[in-house]
Amino acid sequence: MFRKLALIALLAAIAGGLAFFWLTSPKRMEAKAMAGMPQGVADRGELVFWAGGCASCHAAEKAEGDDKLKLGGGVVLKTGFGDFIAPNISSHAADGIGAWSLQDFAAAMRLGVSPEGYHYYPSFPYGSYARISDNDVADLWAFMQTLPAVDSKAPEHDLAFPFSVRRGIGVWKLLYADPSPVINIDGNDAVLLRGRYLVEGLGHCGECHTPRDFAGGLIRERWLAGAPNPEGEGRIPNITSGEGGIGSWSVGDIAYYLETGFTPDFDSVGGSMVKVQENMAMLSPEDRAAIAAYLKAVPEHASEK
């Protein structure tokens, strides 16, 4: 009797382990979906590049001007889970991602899976990038291949156990990966839809402006309501129209801030938002206005006291 029970327990454990292994295994995009990827256009990809904020983490810490196009990585994101270090994503074949295919790139951007088939940590915001269109992924890839090759390998992440176990990211993805839109937009308002695409997808604004639960999953019920600064001091501001947010800002005020870095009362942008604002300044006035329109449309949340 006892042996039988033990055998059942053992089988259950094996089955559980297999299920865990299967459920958490890095899924590659289906070949069929990949076959439909369009040919990218590098010129169009430049705007995708700025909207996506790639340089903010993957260029050197104080890069200005053309140095923002040297994507050698190395920027450290200090968090409660440990130090995440942005890798080299330049066109260098060995140290960067120059040897990748468009399919490899799309799987990395939208599924958070490497060409070797392991999970990336969600410090790489593929949870947001999952919403990027095929065209933008292809254009971005075309543009990034025109950028300089940087020969230097960035160090590995320095994380505490159990976050250092990559397999755990598979569980994280099961729990949190959800490329569906966060905010419902009624009807076919092209400006709001564009704004949503830029904020929820490419711009990945929610990654910092939305609070996270204990396991680092975004709390959608508090979308853009502000959050503790993952890097330590201060708070990331509430950018909804709720109390403590930016309800008093007009659409024009928000667009002006994204363009110039000045708030309506002429305080200046600061902290890690400086790099973001400089990226937003590269977009078209229509795109900045679309972001502003979307931010005015999201549900209001009061700031956490």
Partner 1 sequence: MRKSLFVLSMLAVSGVTAVASEDPVATRKALMQSNGAAAGLSGGMMKGEIPYNAAAAKAALASFNAAATAFGDYFPEGSDMDANTTASPKIWEDMEGFEAELDKFQTAAAAAMQAAGKDGPADLDAFKAAAGSVLGTCKDCHEGYRVKN
CB of 252 to partner 1, least distance (A): 10
Shortest reach from residue 218's CB to partner 1, in Å: 21
Min CB(259)–partner 1 separation in Å: 11
> 171 and 105 in contact (C-beta within 8 Å)?
no
Q: How far is the CB of 61 from partner 1 (least distance, A)?
A: 10
Beta bridge partners of 198: none
* Identity of the residue numbered 192: L
Dihedral sign, Cα of residue 244, residue 247, residue 248, residue 252? positive
Least Å distance, CB 271 to partner 1, is: 6
Sheet holding 76-79, edge to edge: 76-79, 82-85, 158-159
The CB density around residue 179, as the number of other CB atoms within 10 Å, is 15
Q: Which CB atom, from 108 or from 236, has the smaller least distance to partner 1?
A: 236
Closer CB to partner 1, 101 or 268, in the complex: 268
* Cα–Cα distance measured from residue 253 to residue 264, given in angstroms and rounded to the nearest whole number: 6
Report the interface residues with partner 1, using CB under 8 A: 233-235, 237, 256, 261-262, 265-272, 274-275, 277
**Closer of 186 and 265 to partner 1 (Cβ):** 265
Q: Which is nearer to partner 1, 176 or 262 (CB)?
A: 262
CA–chain centroid gap for 292, Å, is 19
Minimum CB–partner distance for residue 233 and partner 1 (Å): 5
Report the Cα 304 to chain-centroid distance in Å: 23
Task: Report the nearest approach of partner 1 to the CB of residue 208 (Å).
Answer: 13
Angle at 239 between CA 237 and CA 241, to 5 degrees: 130
Distance, in Å, from the CA atom of 73 to the CA atom of 176, rounded to the nearest integer, reads 26
CA distance 180 to 111: 13
Is 132 or 254 the residue whose CB approaches partner 1 more closely?
254
Nearer to partner 1, 181 or 252 (CB): 252
Nearer to partner 1, 57 or 182 (CB): 57
Render 77-117 in DSSP notation, one character per residue. EEETTEEEEPPP-SS-TTTSSTT--HHHHHHHHHH-B-TTS
Strand partners, 159: 82
